[in-house]
């Protein structure tokens, strides 16, 4: 398999062990054409990007773009769900600097409200009322897809039960990719948080997929071996893998392009009056 890029990697700015430059060097050595730096969002209570570090990450990425012109470096975040209303820890002001927005459920996140701590995070953490939480969690994912230009849903089914088919239907509608997360697949069994049967059901929807390493160490950047095995086992068509031999088309990019076109049309209309 020939993967074009790795769009989910972490650095020392959050939960990773390497620098931005070390991740980039690893990606170049793996023959990738693109890499995204997607450290954990601001509301994670232990592994978050600190707001005070955000300008430094941006400058770091800009420097690496100049130093390594042979690879495209995207600046992103792996944002966190913070409420059952589908709110995630990103603002419009943050979005304008992002090239890619990854989003997933994580434990130990500062909730939007106290009621979300007891009605969202604790039940999922403790495995309480799983059937009821599955419905609520799924609804939160769909609401987030409605609210934000999310490019990638990361490690679906991880840490909180959801209906991956319903999430995939919504993702397909909005143009969001479902991630096959290499790190999330157990080495011994080859199984991910979703079962093989769930993956097969997700494949019946129109959603597209993306394969990422979720690397927390530079030496894991661009490694997709476990994901490749899962893809082969469940029969996921390679033409539906957005970063296999091609550049992914990201939802947020299309949204920004549409805003730019709308601004140009508005300016042209203003000049013609």
pLDDT per position as a tens digit, 125-155: 999 999 999 999 999 999 999 999 999 999 9
- Identify the CATH number of the domain defined by range 5-248: 3.20.20.140
Question: Collapsing DSSP states into helix, strand and coil, what is residue 75?
Answer: strand
Altogether, the residues listed in the chain come to a count of 273
Rounded mean pLDDT, 233-247: 97
Question: What is the reported pLDDT for 39?
Answer: 97
Model pLDDT for residues 68-126, shown as the tens digit of each residue: 999 999 999 999 999 999 999 998 888 989 999 999 999 999 999 999 999 999 999 99
pTM listed for this prediction: 0.95
Whether the pLDDT of residue 264 is over 70: the answer is yes
Question: What is the reported pLDDT for 38?
Answer: 98
Whether the pLDDT of residue 200 is over 60: the answer is yes
Question: Collapsing DSSP states into helix, strand and coil, what is residue 48?
Answer: coil
In whole angstroms, how far apart are CA 181 and each of 72, 131, 178, 196, 265? 21, 24, 9, 14, 40
Question: What is the reported pLDDT for 37?
Answer: 98
Confidence bin at 1 (pLDDT 50/70/90): low
Rounded mean pLDDT, 166-173: 98
Question: Is residue 164 within 8 Å of 105, Cβ to Cβ?
Answer: no
DSSP string, 141-202: HHHHHHHS---EE-STTSSS---HHHHHHHHHHHTPEEEEESTTS-TTT---SS-HHHHHHH
């Amino acid at each position: 398999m020939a993967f074009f890029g790795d769009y989910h990697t972490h650095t020392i700015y959050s939960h990773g062990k390497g620098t931005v430059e070390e991740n980039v060097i690893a990606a170049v050595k793996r023959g990738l054409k693109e890499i995204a730096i997607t450290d954990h969002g601001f509301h994670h209570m232990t592994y978050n990007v600190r707001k005070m570090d955000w300008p430094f990450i941006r400058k770091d990425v800009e420097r690496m773009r100049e130093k390594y012109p042979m690879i495209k470096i995207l600046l992103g975040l792996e944002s966190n769900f913070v409420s059952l209303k589908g709110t995630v820890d990103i603002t419009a002001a943050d979005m304008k600097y992002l090239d890619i927005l990854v989003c997933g459920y994580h434990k130990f996140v500062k909730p939007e409200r106290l009621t979300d701590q007891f009605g969202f995070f604790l039940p999922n953490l403790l495995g309480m009322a799983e059937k009821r939480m599955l419905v609520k969690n799924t609804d939160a994912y769909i609401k987030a897809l409605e609210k934000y230009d999310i490019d990638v849903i990361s490690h679906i089914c991880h840490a909180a039960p959801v209906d991956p088919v319903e999430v995939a239907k919504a993702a397909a509608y909005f143009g969001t990719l479902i991630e096959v997360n290499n790190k999330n697949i157990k080495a011994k069994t080859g199984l991910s948080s979703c079962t093989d049967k769930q993956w097969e059901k997700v494949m019946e929807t129109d959603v597209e997929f993306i394969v990422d390493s979720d690397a927390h160490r530079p030496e894991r950047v661009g490694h997709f071996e476990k994901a490749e095995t899962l893809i082969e086992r469940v029969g996921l068509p390679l033409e539906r893998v957005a970063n296999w031999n091609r550049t992914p088309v990201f939802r947020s990019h299309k949204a920004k392009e549409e805003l730019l076109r709308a601004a140009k049309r508005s300016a042209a209309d203003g000049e013609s009056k």
